[in-house]
């Protein structure tokens, strides 16, 4: 059975991932998406492959989309007053990928 690999990645990794996939002979569709945690832009990649290729595609995604630490400024209320916010830096992990591999009944590239 064919597979659909769906990878939600950080925008910063999308160009390199697309180039790597194309260099390895894979086609992908890139969609703009937005993450819920940091409200930052993401990219969702749709990659149709046969069953034997799915693990190689997942390995490519893992190699290209490494997680990394980033300092972001968030807002937090002071004294419980919703109107009083003070920004403060927080270290978060960004990057990496969320990968779904789904069975596909039919897959064609024309």
Q: Which domains does the chain have, with CATH numbers?
A: 2-104 (3.30.70.120)
Please give the full DSSP string across 17-49, using - where no structure is assigned.
Answer: HHHHHHHTT---EEEEEE-SSS--EEEEEEEEE
Which has the minimum average pLDDT: 2-11, 26-35, 71-80? 71-80
Mean pLDDT across the chain: 84
pLDDT of residue 34: 81
Rounded distance, CA 62 to CA 45, Å? 13
Task: Convert the pLDDT of each residue in 31-78 to its tens digit.
Answer: 998 876 656 678 999 999 999 999 999 999 999 998 777 676 765 555
Rounded distance, CA 23 to CA 103, Å? 24
Please give the full DSSP string across 82-100, using - where no structure is assigned.
Answer: EEEEEEEEEEEEEE-EEEE
41 or 24, which is more confident?
24
pLDDT of residue 10: 87
Nearest to 67 by CA among 98, 41, 44: 98
pLDDT of residue 20: 97
pLDDT of residue 22: 96
pLDDT of residue 59: 97
């Amino acid at each position: 059975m064919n597979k659909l690999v769906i990878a939600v990645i950080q925008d910063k990794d999308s160009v390199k991932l697309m180039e790597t996939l194309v260099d390895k002979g894979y086609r992908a569709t890139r969609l703009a998406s937005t993450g819920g945690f940091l409200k930052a832009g993401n990219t969702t990649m749709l990659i149709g492959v046969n069953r034997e290729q799915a693990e190689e595609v997942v390995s490519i995604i893992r190699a290209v989309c490494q997680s990394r630490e980033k300092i972001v400024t968030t807002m937090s209320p002071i004294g419980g007053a919703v109107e009083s916010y003070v920004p403060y830096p927080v270290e978060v992990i960004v990057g990496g990928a969320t990968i779904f591999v789904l069975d596909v009944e039919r897959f064609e590239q024309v």
